[in-house]
Structure 1
Amino acid sequence: MSTFQNTAHFEQVFKDNWELMYQSAYSKIGDQAVVEDILQEIFIDIWQRRESLEIKSGIKAYLLTAVKYQVMKHFDGQAKIRKDNSHNLPEAYYEEDVFGFEELFHEIEIAVEMLPPRAQLVFRMSRLEGYSVDEIADKLKVSPQTVHNQLSKSLKIMRGELKHLAPALAVYLLA
């Protein structure tokens, strides 16, 4: 069964998530027109695949991961334009689609599942849902330092598990 049962559901997902997605992309790119194009591309892609698309881990996490992936593709495109730095990066960095988005999301999900339960929760809240350290600490009733420690351990594990991805993509997703 598809994640999007009807047009109204799709529109509600857009309304509920576009602002967070916009803020996430804008904080990295800083160009309103580019960010709007990225969000449009994401939602067009989702709409075109709505019949077969099944999102199992949560729509918010899926959409924020899509934003991160599209932002990375934007920077990759910018890097291609600036050929002067091309000799410093590995060839795999410039491939059009090192991983399709679905494959990338799946790889991240597998790596997250390898984390201990509490570390999974902290990682998802921070990197996939966009919560700040203080927000996570407040929600989980722990100190911000505990959240920092959990994230540090999680990121070390995740980097090791995802090192086979294009280096710049792995660094961006896990920074």
Structure 2
Amino acid sequence: MTTSKLDAVFIAQRTPLLRTLIRMVKNPSVAEDLVQETYLRVATTLRERRVDHLEPFLFQTGRNLALDHLRHMRMKSRTLVEDLPGAVIEAIPDAASSTEDGLYAGQLLERLGTTLSRLTDRQQRMFILSRLHGLGHGEIAERLKVSPSTVQKELKLIMAICVESLSRLEPTP
């Protein structure tokens, strides 16, 4: 199949595809990026193999990209990103980071582990339920048989302890 055929289908289906992706990701800017990524992915696939039904393939590719984006965002929201200083976040190495970055990230994780081990059992459980399992204050309160305000105060204290502990760790040069 030629790229001119893909171009014709893409131009004809761009607006409905965009609407579909906006409904899925609830963000027009992200949806627009996903539409462009969809085109690129389909074009790459067409160079590698034949696609008999281009229009449904275009929409399925877009939906798959949107689902991948939503999964990524859900995982990202379960991390400590909003609770940690920017310097700590920037210190987390990416896949192509240097050995020094990896060592520093290891030190951060070790410090965080040590800090968490000093918390009470209840505080540790609250932290795990909140940050690793993604439970809300009400759900945690119910499980631990405490009030939601107790959970909120404890988590705020836990995060302050973690941030303070991690801020004392200086990055390696």
Please indicate, yes or no, whether the TM-score normalized by the shorter chain is above 0.5.
no
Greater relative contact order: 1 or 2 (C-alpha under 8 angstroms, separation 6 or more)?
Answer: 1
TM-score tier, shorter chain, comes to 0.3 to 0.5
